[in-house]
Each structure stands twice: as C-alpha cells, then as structure tokens.
Structure 1
C-alpha cells in the first residue's frame, strides 16, 4: 500500500533499539515481537516508573471525531484494540483491564462552526465511525443540563469513543512485550554512534552501547533531544498541559466527554469530573515544570467556561490537579512516523500532540510492518512521513483538542 521504499535486507539476528518505553515504544516492541520472535528488541526507558510519562499523565481518551481520514482510521483500529486488550495482552493467564468506558465525545458548535462540524461528521461516518449529528433542539432534549443558547449543533460518538486507564494500557503493553521477549533497560540515551547514513549504536548514561540495525525514536516529549544526537532537527517540543479534578453537586445524566467551542473540555471521573484546555499560543512555552500547575488557566478560562456551558457548575471545587507533557508537533500537530531521508535505519514515531494513547496501537502495528517488511501492509501511514515536514506540506487537522 505504501510508497515507502524497502530500506534494508533483514535477517534473523536483526537488532532493533527503541528509545522510549511509553505507549508508542511499547506498542512497537509488542508488535515487533508478536510478528517476528527472531528479531531482538531492546527498549531504553529513562523513567521506568512513568512518573513523568505522557502515557500515564494524560486524560486517556479515544475518539474518531477528527477531520482527516488517517487519524480517524488509526483511532478506529485503536478502539478495536482496546476492546480486545484482555485477550491480546494476556500474560500467564492474567488479562489486563483498562476500564474502557465508551461514554462518547460531544463536540459542540456555534453557528460559525456548524458547517465544519457537518463536514467532519460526513467524513467520519463515511469511514465507519458511529457519530450522531444533533441539532440545537436535540442537544437540549438529550442533555437537559446543557446551556444551548449560543449553540447550533453537536456531534456525539454513540460508540467507539470514551476514556480509559492510560497507565494501565502502557503497563499492559510493556508486560506483554517483555513476555514476548523484548528487553527493557532503565537508562537515558546520551549519544548515537552514526556512520554515514546509519546509526550503529545507542549509548546510555551508564556508558553502555547497544548495537542496532534499526533505531526507533519513540521518546515522546524528549524526541527532539534524541533526534539531535543523530544530527536531525524535529519540530516536536514538550508542552505542558494541566488537568483539574473537580467535585460538584451537579447531576449530569449520560454525560460524555464534552468539547466546548472554546476548546475547554470536561468528562466524568467517577463521582467527580476532570477538565482542562490548551493555553493560548502566546502563553505556551516549551519545557515548563510539571510540578507547577497552571492555576490561572483554570480560574480565568476553564471555570468560567464550565459555568456558562453547564449552569450547575457554578458550584465546584478543585480536588486535585496535575500536569503532563504533550509531545507537541509545532509544524501541524500530527504525528511524524517513518524514516528521515538522511538516515536509512532511524525511524521516528513522534509528535502525536495529545493523540498518542489512542493512536499507539495503529502506530505500533505500522512501524513494525515498516521495520520487518519495508512497507506498510495494513493501514498506510506514509502520509505522516518526515518528508511532509521537509517539504512544508502540513496536514490540516480541524479538530485539535
């Protein structure tokens, strides 16, 4: 299916080193070992407890409500994978559970955004996504707690969208990859040995060198630093996103994950709710400390928006909060997957910009195909290749959250 050329001649002793053991790296390791147990897979993860991992700190949700066909298709495979995770990732009779709840996404639109919502809905349903378009009266009837005064339409995922335990997913992928024979190393990558167009070894802070036939950069928010070790610049930066857990006397029946036209979101979390939004572009610098949550964003933007959209949220209290990093692709907020034209055996899987958990299974499957067969066999991910960055061909995603 793919235009990706066959890069290397593979043999049974091929060595793959993956930098980063979050959901992307562990998914790649899982699919590699599942597809070909003769391939040596080493995953180097500097934070084995995942205390700063985007996989563990995100709002952990999945949707098909994107505006590009490939993102929709990746998440359609993602929900298929998550629904069958117990069987897929079973280890020694123990089936992992990630508490997948298909509560749906509800994207809301004002009159100025209705045409885009309808256009996106037509594309999503044409690809098999189970999304219902709701007009203003239907929104009010289905969600009587919702203020619809300034709305004209909404799009609701009836099935296939919702939320889950992100930390549980990355642990399940890691354990299954290890059970299949992948080796995990707790260390930090400090250098890459490059000879011409190939990376021959990965050097860690302990002075160990891991020889490789292929290296995969799945380093998440730290992808740019790892790429720079090979002399490559990648437009992926660590952007802080704060999440707030709030309690409220509000009784919101059948509450989905709601995306306000402003970009503020909230969803149920047991008896409470979690909420957040992206800061304005002029207040979104790189590498902000994760232990400094953006309380002003909650006070100035999130709470007023919640109280407007759901009047019952006038009364709420922050119970706790935290921050995690988006591996933010500043070029077009979509993943960069595949080879760089200057390095034959270096594969990138970076820049998911908040979509990594849901797109991880499709990425793992696709990258394993690229490594083992030299091309994509199932879903063609070549549109996400590095060439588009170098040639200034951004993918425009209208539903960035």
Structure 2
C-alpha cells in the first residue's frame, strides 16, 4: 500500500465487475464500461496506491506510433490517435474536458544494415495499406529534412508525420477516472489479497481485500500492471508478465536544434525526442532482468556509458548537453512476445486479462479499454478484433509476432 494510505471499505457486498488496478488501463476499462449504454452493472475499481506514484502510468513517456509490423497493432494506434484528437467529443462534449494535442513529429526508425532496412520497407507497405503515413526515406532524404543527424553508418529509415509522436496521456487518465466515478464506478483505496473460485474452478466468485472485506463479483479484470502475475496467481493462473526497469533522461542542449526531433530509434536501441523546451532520451539496459516490484533505483552509468555517447554521436549538436531530470519506471513486460494479453482465461471464464503491454500501454489503452468493455457487455469484440492477444496463445506457447518492439 502507499505510505499512510487509509484502507477504504466497499459500499456494497457484490459487484458485477471488479477491476484490480485503477491506473491507466484499469481506468480505461472503467470509463468505457461505465460509458457503454448497454451496460448497467456495478463497477468496483480497487487501487492499492491512490497517489499512483509507483505505477507505470506515472512513469510513462506518452508516445504514440503506427509503425508496427502487424495490422492489428497499427489499427489499435490509429484508434488512439482518433480518440486523442477528438477527446472532448468522446467524453460527451463535456465543456470541462480540455483538448489534448497530439504532437505529430513522428518516429524515425534508423537502419544501419540491409536486413533491418528491408524489414522497415516491409513494415512501411503494411502500414501504408492501413492508411498510415509512413514513408521509407533514403539517407539523402533524411539529411534534407533533418540535417542535424550523423548518418554515415545509416542505410535508410522509416518516418511518419501523421498521428504519430507524443500526447499527454495523463490527461486522458485523469478524465477517465473522474468521468467513470461520475457515471457510478466506485474507486476504492484497498488491495485485493485473495480470490475464491467455485467448486469447478471455472469462475472467481469473490475477492478478499486487505481490509478483511470480501465481495462477490460477476467478472474480475486484471489491470495490475507489472504486478499482473501476483493478481492472476490468486486465481491459480500463471502469466509471463514481470517488471522490467526502463530509464528516462531529460536533457537541455547548449545548441538546441532548429526543428523538432522525431522520436528517433537509434540502431543501438537508444531513443530520443523533443520534449517541450528540452529533449528526452532512454533505452533498455543491456542486462535486462526482472526487478523487484518496488525497485526504482536509477543507474546513471546507463546515461554516462550508453545514452549520452550515442545521442552525441547521432546528433553532434548534443555533444554539449546538461542532464535536467531522470527517472526509472517499470514495463509490464510480457516475456513471451512483448505484446498485450487481453480477454478471458481459457478455464476461469470470468477472469479477464488487460496485461503485459511491454511499454505500449498508454497508446493502446483506448482500444484495449473499449475492447474489454465490449467483451464484458456483449461477450464479444465489436470494434476491433483483439483475439490475437488472447490468453490461448500463452497456453499454446505461440508468440504473437511483432517485429517493431522497442
């Protein structure tokens, strides 16, 4: 529990839907479900940390891209872009709701070998077929548009300036949470510590809270972020999701660039982009084990030995920079294939996953919240078919192939 957080008692003894985890994904499900005219059931959202200080939501970089290698991932991000650009309309034209700008300076995937360049070309064809604005650019074209890059080792790159870049995801989160509450969803500061199944083991019948309260439930939604497996184990279920540490660094440049820096994915794995008046950079560590759920200790050697040398090489103007801020956050890392796990368990039918986003959670949260709400309200997906992300592939050990994982 968050320090000094007071445990709250649920208002009722039974709920149609219990959502375990009230951060970005849990609140997306709560809002889409409470906003669905065909669902009139009760919703309980249980969140152990009402400050959200240590959630992935609070450590996000709020990026959005359509540059994936699989059509369903492209479609998911396209809905996210539509949702962000029309946020007030989606929120019922509520005059209190602010506009959420989508800073479309795009991603720039750089390839330093022919094999990866060919993958980018293949991905571009698929993305273009989905209506995305991705273009494969030659080195000469990149130099023309972004003369600040050092490109002597680069063959080409993929770039998209349409509905791809950065958005303020926390505004979505705040309004989903507020609106879901106004529509009747109950948010509870507490922690789910146990689940009871029926005799056949096919349904979760009740949950027990840290406060000692127990409530019966019609459906359980696991939206527990990096702690997803701790929640699933209460129902006797294993999922391949673990916390992996990711590092973000904010820096100032003595010689700022004369135009926006796209979210640039260097072949080294380091990424960087414009971040308001500053710049943002990050990367996975070379040694990338699972970490403790409460481990947010920073490793500044990653900045000194990997990030700074890489960005100073790729953008020579970044040789003189000053570190302004930094933090470590957790990916909800799906060790099978780094893609989401969505939908019901194969045996415990009322246990629904919204897990394992591996860094894609913010940009995928609108489509995943909508899809999960449809599944609960109608028993099926109606907008986008999210079944490729089902738990069945976990049982069969069949990874969902997505080549564009950062």
Look up the match of 1:3.
none
| Matching of residues 201-240 of structure 1 within 5 Å | 201-240=206-245
Deviation string, structure 1 residues 93-114 (Cα, Å, up to 9, x no partner): 3013444312211111113311
| Matching of residues 1-150 of structure 1 within 5 Å | 15-35=16-36, 36-89=38-91, 93-112=95-114, 113-150=116-153
Deviation string, structure 1 residues 185-205 (Cα, Å, up to 9, x no partner): 111111111112110112111
Query: Out of 328, 344, 347, which is 1:342 matched to?
Result: 347
TM-aligned CA deviation for residue 211 of structure 1: 1.6
CA 1:78/1:135 → structure 2, altered by over 3 Å: closer, same or farther?
same
Q: Distance in 2 between matches of 1:347 and 1:181?
A: 21
Q: Distance in 2 between matches of 1:362 and 1:104?
A: 20
Q: Distance in 2 between matches of 1:257 and 1:134?
A: 15
Q: Distance in 2 between matches of 1:120 and 1:216?
A: 33
CA 1:198/1:123 → structure 2, altered by over 3 Å: closer, same or farther?
same
TM-aligned CA deviation for residue 254 of structure 1: 3.0
> How many residues matched?
388
Give the TM-score normalised by structure 2. 0.92
Query: Out of 179, 184, 204, which is 1:199 matched to?
Result: 204
Query: Out of 273, 280, 283, which is 1:274 matched to?
Result: 280
RMSD: 1.5
CA 1:188/1:96 → structure 2, altered by over 3 Å: closer, same or farther?
farther
SS in 2 for 1:191: strand
Q: Is the 1:24–1:349 Cα contact (8 Å) retained in structure 2?
A: yes
Look up the match of 1:7.
none
Q: Is the 1:37–1:180 Cα contact (8 Å) retained in structure 2?
A: no
> Is the deviation greater in 198-207 or in 249-258?
249-258
Q: Structure 1 residue 331 and structure 2 residue 336: aligned?
A: yes
| Matching of residues 151-162 of structure 1 within 5 Å | 151-162=154-165
> Is the deviation greater in 113-122 or in 157-166?
157-166
Q: Is the 1:98–1:164 Cα contact (8 Å) retained in structure 2?
A: yes
SS in 1 for 2:102: coil
Look up the match of 2:8.
none
| Matching of residues 277-296 of structure 1 within 5 Å | 277-280=283-286, 282-287=287-292, 289-296=294-301
Q: Distance in 1 between matches of 2:179 and 2:156?
A: 43
CA 1:67/1:82 → structure 2, altered by over 3 Å: closer, same or farther?
same
SS in 1 for 2:350: strand
Gapped regions of structure 1 (runs ≥ 5): 1-12
Q: Is the 1:239–1:288 Cα contact (8 Å) retained in structure 2?
A: no
Give the TM-score normalised by structure 1. 0.93
Q: Is the 1:366–1:381 Cα contact (8 Å) retained in structure 2?
A: yes
Look up the match of 1:357.
362
Look up the match of 1:249.
254
Q: Distance in 1 between matches of 2:308 and 2:134?
A: 28
Q: Distance in 2 between matches of 1:254 and 1:333?
A: 29
- Moved segments of 4+, more than 4 Å: none
Query: Out of 159, 166, 171, which is 1:168 matched to?
Result: 171
SS in 2 for 1:212: strand
TM-aligned CA deviation for residue 87 of structure 1: 2.4
TM-aligned CA deviation for residue 290 of structure 1: 4.3
CA 1:119/1:319 → structure 2, altered by over 3 Å: closer, same or farther?
same
Look up the match of 1:264.
270
Gapped regions of structure 2 (runs ≥ 5): 1-13
Look up the match of 1:5.
none
CA 1:182/1:173 → structure 2, altered by over 3 Å: closer, same or farther?
same
Q: Distance in 2 between matches of 1:276 and 1:380?
A: 32
SS in 1 for 2:194: strand
CA 1:82/1:307 → structure 2, altered by over 3 Å: closer, same or farther?
same
